[in-house]
Amino acid sequence: MNFIGFVSVLLLILTLVVSARCELITIGLVGSIGSLLGGVSYYGYEKYKCMYMECCTDEYIPSDLDRLEYMFAARLYGQQIAQETVINALRGHLESQNSPKALVMSFHGTPGTGKNYVAQMIAKALYKKGIESQYYHFFNGRNDFPLQRKVDEYKEDLYKIVSNGLKRCERSLFVFDEVDKMPEGLLNILVPFLDYSVYHKSSKHSESVYQNKAIFIFLSNTGSSQIAQHLTGMWEKGRKRDDTRLQDFEKLIANGAFSEKGGFHHSDTIQASVIDHYVPFLPLEEVHVRKCLVKAFSERGVTPKEEMIQEALSHLTFGPEPHNLYSMAGCKRIEQKVASIVYRKQSESIINN
Ligand SMILES: Nc1ncnc2c1ncn2[C@@H]1O[C@H](COP(=O)(O)OP(=O)(O)OP(=O)(O)O)[C@@H](O)[C@H]1O
Ligand SMILES: [Mg+2]
């Protein structure tokens, strides 16, 4: 090969190398721009989507505990202990930077004392869409899990619902109503979600500091006879309702719930002590029921006279013997009584005019 030939080969090799590098650079550039655009458009899509659909963001999950406190003060009667326990528990859980465990509360009390009412208020304060939020999950023990023999099937379903719900948004709220009507053993499936470690160790979040912002609430009537007995005992000793403290009831409820039949019966959930707060809902006295009645009348645009209140009260049963201090159905179903009284009064006044 002469000199000219040698130079031509060299030039050819150089040209090939340079063009190959250019191509790589071009590919790299196009790739980067592509992924940048992809990222931007994905971000844009997410942002756009969240303008129209509920997302797991602060905007949709304001967790407005001041609003909850206000709702309690304005509309919840006679449940001082429950009110304080719930607010403190939620503040501690949501405002802490590092909450490695889901918040688990168990509400106990006689019918119509406000367990569902409070659970709904919590949902309203947490989520912009309140109980319509896709992050609010409600189960009813009696309706959703009626058969003991199907407990294994229910366990599988429940596990899927809860783990998918948490994947979608870790700030989810799960409410289990009528836990005492659930098949025994079903709640054990929840232990990994309620406890500190198990679920998170096996999840992709295990490396980072995991913020477990989920909230689980159980509602039941178990332990309510113990609550009522204890409150009556205190009343007999001259202690006022407002002087009672959470500590007076916590142990009573836990023992009652554990030994009575139903979802908590000899349950691992209790044994593993994953329930953070046992919240007593005290039986309501006449003074509280009167407030519920006034509210129900005023919601119908009526300022009730004493005789109307008396008539509504006469439909309610107070017990237990001998003092008959507490409304046996709390403030439950009083709307219907009020509705019929208002209807009758209105039709009487039409006839009289
Ligand atoms: N403490 C309360 N203060 C004000 N209103 C109340 C209270 N308790 C109950 N109510 C009224 O009674 C209705 C029924 O109460 P709720 O459904 O919360 O009872 P519950 O405790 O869940 O009873 P159950 O054990 O029978 O399920 C509520 O929607 C609310 O209007
Ligand atoms: Mg209820």
Whether residue 316 lies inside any domain: the answer is yes
142, 292, 336, 337, best to mutate for ligand 1 pocket (most atoms within 8 Å of CB): 292
pTM reported for the whole predicted model: 0.84
Is 204 found in the same domain as 177? yes
Is 291 found in the same domain as 190? no
The DSSP call for residue 130 is G
Is 218 found in the same domain as 296? no
Domain range enclosing 271: 65-281
Tokens 């009526």, residue located: 302
Is 296 found in the same domain as 154? no
**Centroid of ligand 1 to alpha carbon of 114 (angstroms):** 3
Whether residue 3 lies inside any domain: the answer is no
The count of structural domains within the chain is 2
Is 309 found in the same domain as 193? no
Q: What separation in angstroms does the CA of 289 have from each of 28, 33, 352?
A: 73, 67, 31
Is 133 found in the same domain as 120? yes
**Centroid of ligand 1 to alpha carbon of 279 (angstroms):** 15
- Sheet holding 277-281: strands in order across? 136-140, 173-177, 215-220, 103-109, 277-281
Whether residue 246 lies inside any domain: the answer is yes
Torsion angles phi and psi, residue 322, rounded to 5: -90, -10
Whether residue 19 lies inside any domain: the answer is no
Q: Could you tell me where the beta strands, DSSP code E, fall in 135-233?
A: 136-140, 173-177, 215-220
106, 107, 117, best to mutate for ligand 1 pocket (most atoms within 8 Å of CB): 117
Q: What separation in angstroms does the CA of 32 have from each of 36, 47, 267, 291?
A: 6, 22, 55, 66
pLDDT tens-digit profile, the chain (353 residues): 555 555 455 555 655 554 555 454 555 555 555 555 555 566 667 778 899 899 999 999 999 999 999 999 999 999 999 999 999 999 999 988 777 889 999 999 999 999 999 999 999 999 999 999 999 999 999 999 999 999 999 999 999 999 999 999 999 999 999 998 899 889 889 988 988 754 554 455 444 445 689 999 999 998 888 899 999 999 999 988 888 899 889 888 877 766 666 667 666 666 667 889 999 999 999 999 999 999 999 999 999 999 999 999 999 999 998 999 999 999 998 999 999 999 988 888 776 66
Q: What separation in angstroms does the CA of 98 have from each of 45, 93, 168, 208?
A: 30, 9, 20, 11
- HSE, side-chain direction, 13 A CA sphere, residue 150: 10
SS3 196: coil
Whether residue 4 lies inside any domain: the answer is no
Is 304 found in the same domain as 161? no
